[in-house]
Every structure is written in C-alpha cells, then in structure tokens.
Structure 1
Amino acid sequence: MAMTPRGGFDWAAAGRASLRCLCLAAALTPLAAQNDRPPAEALASLQERGRLIALYLQAVDKAADLLKAQGSGAAPSDRTVVIPDREGWRVIYVGDSSRDLAASGMVRKGLSIVAETTFSPDAGQLGTLGLASPPRAASATIQSYVRSLEQAEIATIGRPEGGRPLLEAVVREKDATFTVYVISQQKEGSERDVAAGMGGSVLFGRDFMVRIAASGRQVLSVEKLHDRNTSMSLQPRAPGTPLLHEHDQRDLPAPTDVALVLRHRVLAPLLVLTPRFMFRIDAEGAVTWLGPNPNSKPATSQGAGPASPGRADAP
C-alpha cells in the first residue's frame, strides 16, 4: 500500500501503480484477442467529431473575448452561434430585438444579428468584429441554430446530470437535422471539494448528445454520454504520465472526451477504459486503440454499442 510520510494513503502513487498494472496486463493479452478491435472508420469519425466540438467551443470562447474588448458599442447579445461552412466559419452574436430594440421601429421583433465575425479553424483565430447598427433580422438558418441550442438546454437542464455552467456545440448534419452536445460543468458538493483539492479540474461525465429536427423546434432524442462523473486534475504531470478515465458502457470514448482533451491539453495523454477496450487520446485529439481491456466486463444491452458521434461528413 502506498503511504505518505505522515502515514496517509497516497492516491497519486496508487493511481500510477494501477496504470502500470493495466499496461502490463494489456501487453500480456494474447495476440488472438487483438483481432477484436473497433473499426478504423469509427475511430476516425470519433476523432473528427471531437475536434469539431472543440473548435466550436474555441470559437465561442474567443468570440466572447473579442466582444468584450471591441464591442462596447454593440447592442446586447444573448447568444453566440457558430456556423461552419467550406468558405469559412461564421460567428454570429444574436440578440432578442423584441426585448430591447422594438421601440426603434427599425428592426423586426424576434432574433437579430447584433455583431458578426469569422473564425479560421486552421489558425484558431477570429477575423474583424463587425457591428450591425442597427441590428438586422436573423435569417431562418441562424434562427434554427439558436432554437436547436435552446431546445437542447430545455431537454437537459432539469436532469440530474444537467445544470449550468454549460459548454455547448451544435452541428448541422447532412440530412439538415442538428446534433447538440451539452456539457455541464456544474459540480456537486463532493465534486467541488475534490476540485478544490486538485487546485483546478475539469468535470467529465455530465454530458448529453441531443438530436434536433431540421426546424430546430423538435427534440428527436436525448442520449447521456457517460454513466459516471469524474473530476480530472488540470495540474501538470510528469511527461507521458496518463490520466485514467473509465466508461461503464459503450465500446468507444465519447466525442466530448476528445473535445475536452483538446480544450485542456494538460489532460493528455488520457487513457480511456471502456468495458471492452483501452484507448489513448493525445494532445492533438488522436484516438489510439491500445488493445482489449484486460479487466473486460460485459456491457449492458443499453450501452453495448458505441455512442454515435454524428456523421463524419458533416461540415
């Protein structure tokens, strides 16, 4: 048993020992079992969707900073939406004109664009902030993005694993429906205590994948992506020392796992154990299959399959 100099249990040392045992057990797994592996296409789709979520979150974060620095003359903004396309990503600050601007007689009641910029996913940089003066009515496409986010929030906020603050990303699929990823960072009492002891952490496990109809008004499905919550320390570690994240169900990591590693690269490498497999997520969001889980256990029927990250060909 690993003990501290004062006689307490050393959780860090115990964790490192557990990881060493897992890696050793994986190395001793018979080669015949290596044939039971997830399809390469599934891992590629997972990586792509996780990176897309991370880029969306990055664009929203940078947009908030840009508006704070340069948007003193902008009308109030209630929400920021990011619309990726092949010619460049649009970042749109949306306000509710019925609340503040109807008296001017110059803007229709409803959602309006109060400012706009662009985002380069390759460079990770925003373009010039353009203020709309007066604000102009949001197009039907923009309104459907906003409505899909609102519907996803309504569908998850009251659930036990929901709650603000939220990280959200919305993706329009090839069939025109929306997939919204809602990641709650609301920590309960015990989780706050753990986070405080870690000196900074990020919460895994309070996340949902919500499918929304093309209109943005109808929730088609709500899927919880994890079955347990884990606070991951953001403190630096020795190079190459992995953190351990376990899934009770499903064969693959969640796309939100990839997104959070890209958002907090100090988490890499992240070792993910599912009931059947072991994976590593690196600082670039690459997901590597390491082999069968040496302590594999049968998945329940509800989660036997991987959580679909959405279509890999989404824009």
Structure 2
Amino acid sequence: MTAPPAPPAPPATPPALPVLACGEIRTCVLPSLNPLDARAAAQLLRLRPDERVLVSERPNLYVRSPQTLTGVDCRMPTSNGAKVRVVGTVATRAALTEGRILQSSAHVRALARGPERRRPWGHYLIHPGVLEPLGRLPEHEAAQGVLDGAGHGELDLGLIADGTLTTLLRHPLLDQKAPLKSRHTRLRWAARQAEPGEGPVIEEFTLTEDDLRTVRLRVPAATDPAAVAALCEDLALHDWLLTTVVRLLDGRLGPAEGPDALTALRPAVEHLIHLWMPAARGDHALRGLWNVLEQNPGFTRQWDNLVQRIRDRLALLNALTRQPIGP
C-alpha cells in the first residue's frame, strides 16, 4: 500500500526587503597642526583590531576605518508621530581625507516589515546595519522623521556618529592644534526606493540652521546602502569645504592689504584648496547625482569663484609688495 502524496508545501513568505536607508555624518578639521600621513591615519582609525583599515592613495589620500556596530532597540522617528519600534544594529565608520578632514558616519537600512515580537539578539547581529520594525514601517513618515531629527527615546543616528567622532578627537596622536578655525557640520540623509525602471535621484538638498544639511534621495532597490552612505559622505566633505572657505573669507576680501590679508587667506591656501575633488570615489551608478548638485546649488561653480578671488587677491598683494615705497 503506497502512502498518499504529501500535500504541497505552503508558499514561502518572501523575505522583507529594505525600503529605507538613512544616516548622519559629522565633518570637521582634524585637531592636528600637521596632517597625518597614511600610517598615522591608519593608526587613528583602527576602531577594530580584527579588521584592517582601508588606505587609498589615488587620486588623493583617503583612509577609512572598519565598520563598527551599535545595537539599538528604540522608536523610529516619524513625521506623523506614529510609534514604531525598531530593533537591530547601526553601522558606523570614520574616514580621514588627506590627513586633514575627519568624518564620522552612522547609517542603517530599515525593512518594510518585521515580526510582531522581538527576536534574540543573535539574529540582529548576523544582519549588520539592518533595523527590523515590530510590525510595518511607514517608510515615507520614517524618512521624513529621520530628516526632521530624533526626539526623546527615538533612533538618533547623529548621537551615534558623535560618539565615534568624540573618541577619535581624543586620540593621543592628535596635538589638539587645529590649523584653522572652523565648525563641525552635520548632514542627514534618507534614501527611499525609486520606482521600477527609474534611476537614482536627489529629490532635495537643504541647508538649515546650526550647520545642518539634509538630503532626500531615491535609489533603485538593488543599490547598496553603503554606496549611498559613501555618496553622502563625499557630499558632506565638499559642503564642509565650501562652507569653511566662505566663512574664512567672509568680509576679508575687501581692501585689506599686507599681513592682515595674508593671515586671512593663508589657511585656505595651505590646507583646503587642494582638497576639492567631488566624485573621486564611490559607486559609478551614483556619481551622476553630482551633476544635480553642480546645477543647483552649483557647488563647483561657487568653489571655483572663491578660489579665483583668493588667487586674484594674492596676485594683487604680490604686486603691491613689489612697488617702491615713497616718491
């Protein structure tokens, strides 16, 4: 007697896919009178002893730390006040450009839906940089909530990035003698999935008060969130450069001559001008997004104008110092 055929297995539930990637970046000048070379930079950014630091020397010196994880169990910021609990890990990394500009970046990708109850921590640890909601994630409201900023008890990616930055700024390698006066800048970003067949796009780039910038993007579903984070880190770096040079020169390109004018121009010339290199690295599929920023607000156009004004002023000062004094 043959056994009856087994009933067909129920269709497998498709795994939940990330529908939102978001992060926050801190950018500042390294408090070191001299820039760090590749070896010292790698020592500074060795956040984990079990993984190597990435060092790239072309087209400029760029050193990036291994990724570290921070476990979170909190509410997701939402623009409509919806209380959505998320559990998982936040990925954090730091980078140093030309031994001079330090960045700390925290980012995550969030699933569309998760279980109704929290899983054991081991589950979340094997999915680094992923947040699972308990239930459904309202992706639009969550994206806007991240850009608006965290409230009490909510996911605060900026706080996590700040923690890594603070640790690095206290490193014994640093002499705490910054070569110029500048502020830290913050950049928050949120990327939702683009419609099928559509490419990546920057929907909005906003400069707000207190050195905060926000970026809203759409990217194809297959885009690596780490690549989006790298794009935003590059944007944050060049925004910091532009912001810092504007502030260094604010009101100082008037009729000042001699030592005062040179004192104003020297930090920009010695430490910043050579660092401008947008889209030097990163995912080729996302580099085209820089074209949007070049059109509006016109990053490189403004930068080139500032650099030309600095060079014109230096040429004028040089000509004036060569003129004979007196009749």
TM range (shorter): under 0.3
- Give the alignment's TM-score, normalised by structure 2: 0.26
- Give the alignment's TM-score, normalised by structure 1: 0.26
